[in-house]
Amino acid sequence: MGSSESKSAQHEVHHPTPTPTPNPELDRPWRESDWGQKEALKEKLENFSSSSPDVKDIKILVAGQVGAGKSSFINSVNNVFQGRITSRALVDTAAGGSHSFTQNLKGYVIRSGNKSLPFVFKDIMGLEAQVMAGSKTDDIINAVFGHVKDGYKFNEEKALTHKDQHYTSDPKLSDQSFCLVYVIAADLIQNIDDKLIDKLKIIRRAISDEGIPQVVVMTKVDEACPLVNKDLRKIYTSKKIKEKMDLCSAKIGLPLSNIFPVKNYNKETDTQGDIDVLILKALEQIVQNADDRLVDIQSS
pTM: 0.86
- Parent domain of 240: 54-299
| In a domain? residue 243 | yes
> pLDDT (tens digit, 9 = 90+) per residue, 11-42?
556 666 667 778 889 999 999 999 999 999 99
The residue type of 36 is: G
CA nearest neighbour of 177 among 219, 205, 201, 142 = 142
pLDDT at 96: 46
| In a domain? residue 126 | yes
The residue type of 207 is: I
Question: DSSP 3-state helix, strand, coil percentages of the chain (rounded to 5)?
Answer: 40, 15, 45
**CA torsion 135→136→141→145, rounded to 10°?**
-70
| In a domain? residue 15 | no
Provide the strand spans (E) within 3-138.
58-64, 106-112, 115-123
Question: Would you call 7 helix, strand, or coil by DSSP?
Answer: helix
Size (the chain), residues: 300
* CB-based contacts of 206, cutoff 8 Å, min separation 6: 137, 141
Q: What are the angstrom distances between the C-alpha of 49 and each of 44, 81, 111, 231, 295? A: 10, 16, 14, 35, 12
Alpha-carbon distance 125 to 71, whole Å?
10
Sheet holding 58-64, edge to edge: 106-112, 115-123, 58-64, 177-185, 214-219, 259-261
Alpha-carbon distance 70 to 51, whole Å?
27
The residue type of 146 is: G
| In a domain? residue 275 | yes
Q: In which band, very low, low, confident or very high, does the pLDDT at 135 lie, cut at 50, 70 and 90? A: low
| In a domain? residue 74 | yes
> pLDDT (tens digit, 9 = 90+) per residue, 30-81?
999 999 999 999 999 999 999 999 999 999 999 888 888 888 999 999 999 9
* CB-based contacts of 170, cutoff 8 Å, min separation 6: none
Q: What is the tally of structural domains in the chain?
A: 1
pLDDT at 68: 87
Q: Is the pLDDT of residue 225 over 90?
A: yes
Q: In which band, very low, low, confident or very high, does the pLDDT at 194 lie, cut at 50, 70 and 90? A: confident
β-pair partners for 122:
61, 107
The residue type of 2 is: G
Are 65 and 118 a contacting pair, CB within 8 Å?
no
Alpha-carbon distance 174 to 126, whole Å?
24
- Host H or E run for residue 85: none
| In a domain? residue 4 | no
Alpha-carbon distance 155 to 148, whole Å?
13
Are 289 and 179 a contacting pair, CB within 8 Å?
yes
Q: Is the pLDDT of residue 147 over 70?
A: yes
Q: Which CATH number do you get for residue 107?
A: 3.40.50.300
Question: Would you call 216 helix, strand, or coil by DSSP?
Answer: strand
Q: Is the pLDDT of residue 97 over 80?
A: no
| In a domain? residue 223 | yes
| In a domain? residue 49 | no
